């Protein structure tokens, strides 16, 4: 049995893998054809701000290919990391909704204080439970790199430490560090330290460098799916359904 959480992750990751491969098919000829197609659109004359870069596309299509490759890498990294983080939040919420003992454990270990206003003003106890389930999932998954997020998740759900100690989490953190560089450093190049190798990417890359990243990325995604499928199964086995009222609320 798998949960809806891991099913959502697999579905999103399938799209990312296809996106990675499709972007590898882009070349100067494609860009010139698309540029020509754009000029025939009714809106083209109205958006004059795009005309200078469009002119450069016609003169230097290879420049734009590199820009697309680099943009694709950044988008894949950001989407990959955000999907992983959402999986942890999603899984925490599901398991707490299935079993209020886990909710109580989370409140105690996180030292969450129940707002007196919630107790007095809220007429539905399920609304209070849902509020603190959402708050806890955000709190537990906040900040830090992937491995530390997963470690907190594993501790909360009382799962084996081997799950966060597995070497795949170091590989994911290599991507996570690149994601932080994209979000905060805003540099023109990106360095990926992955499996004791250093990869450099920028808007001047060609199809060989991009394809190298795409294949590396797809292998990591597949390994991440295998690893988190195991995490998902163990969490469902550990926290059996005892309180499912929140799952059936309209």
* pLDDT per position as a tens digit, 139-193: 999 878 999 999 999 999 999 999 999 999 999 999 999 998 888 766 678 988 8
Nearest residue to 225 (alpha-carbon basis) of 15, 25, 78: 15
For residue 66, pLDDT over 60 is answered with yes
- Which residues, 6 or more positions from 83, have their beta carbon under 8 angstroms from its beta carbon? 9, 12, 13, 16
The yes-or-no verdict on residue 26 having pLDDT over 80 is yes
Q: Which pLDDT belongs to residue 250?
A: 54
- Alpha-carbon dihedral sign for residues 78, 214, 194, 228: positive
Residue 119 has pLDDT above 80, yes or no: no
* Residue 88 · residue 153 · CB < 8 Å: yes
Whether 68 and 207 have beta carbons less than 8 Å apart is answered as no
- Taking only the tens place, the pLDDT of each residue in 148-161 is 999 999 999 999 99
First-residue to last-residue Cα distance in the chain: 24
């Amino acid at each position: 049995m798998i949960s809806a959480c891991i099913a959502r992750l697999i579905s999103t990751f399938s799209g990312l893998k296809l996106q990675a491969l499709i972007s590898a098919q882009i070349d100067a000829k494609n860009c010139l054809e698309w540029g020509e197609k754009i000029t025939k659109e009714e809106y083209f004359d109205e958006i004059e701000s795009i005309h200078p870069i469009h002119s450069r596309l016609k003169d230097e299509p290879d420049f734009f290919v590199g820009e697309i490759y680099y943009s694709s890498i950044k988008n894949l990294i950001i989407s990959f990391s955000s999907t992983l983080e959402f999986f942890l939040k999603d899984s925490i919420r599901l398991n707490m909704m299935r079993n209020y003992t886990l909710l109580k454990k989370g409140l105690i270990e996180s030292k969450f204080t129940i707002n007196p206003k919630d107790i007095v003003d809220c007429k539905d106890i399920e609304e209070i439970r849902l509020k603190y389930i959402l708050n806890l999932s955000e709190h537990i998954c906040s900040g830090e790199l992937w491995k530390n997020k997963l470690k907190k998740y594993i501790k909360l759900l009382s799962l084996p430490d081997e799950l966060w100690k597995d070497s795949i989490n170091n590989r994911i953190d290599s991507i996570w560090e690149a994601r932080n560089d994209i979000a905060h450093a805003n540099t023109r190049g990106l360095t990926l330290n992955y499996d004791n190798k250093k990869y450099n990417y920028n808007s001047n890359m060609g199809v060989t460098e991009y394809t190298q990243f795409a294949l590396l990325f797809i292998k990591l995604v597949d390994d991440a799916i295998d690893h988190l499928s195991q995490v998902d199964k163990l969490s469902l086995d550990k926290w059996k359904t005892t309180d499912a009222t929140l799952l059936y609320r309209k």
